[in-house]
Amino acid sequence: MRLRIVPDIVSNQELTILSPETTVREATRIMAERGISAVMISDKSTLIGIFTERDLVRRVVAPGLDPSVTQLRDAMSTRPYTLHPHDTASEALQRMRANGVRHLPVVDGQNIVGMVSIRDLFAVVLDETTDDLRQRDMLLFDTGYGTG
């Protein structure tokens, strides 16, 4: 898998970046509206954390915190694992697996570029596998090569 994170996987993405003062209730409302399961947290344009559905369960619901008053700064995962735009899809999958995460923010220096999810990478793997199988069939069954 040699596809690069940018532009092969992340391109023209609508970034969802919230401040650490945002309440968990507001963050989850935004997540539900946009159909996403993670948001990036930034303080003065620097990525400082990520808030995921898993954080909601483990850091808010399970301990019985009130999402209307709990701020993201108190519920987010700090210092998230990240990707660089030139990283490959394969490197992203390896990083996710090694660290037990399903979302990786993409940063270039201090600039937040996007977010990659396991779902994004699954789609890439599925497309590549389909192409590989099609090419194998063409080779094995002599279809699509030469004049036949």
Q: Where are the domains of the chain?
A: 5-140
Contact call for residues 116 and 93 (beta carbons, < 8 A): no
Write out pLDDT tens, residues 12-40: 889 999 999 999 999 999 999 999 999 99
Which CATH superfamily groups domain 5-140?
Answer: CBS-domain (3.10.580.10)
Selection from 103, 74, 106, 102 nearest residue 10 by Cα: 106
DSSP character at residue 144 = S
Helix or strand holding residue 20 (H, E)? none
Write out pLDDT tens, residues 82-135: 999 999 888 999 999 999 999 999 999 999 999 999 988 887 777 777 777 777
Selection from 6, 112, 26 nearest residue 68 by Cα: 26
* pTM, rounded to two decimals: 0.83
CA distance 57 to 62: 6
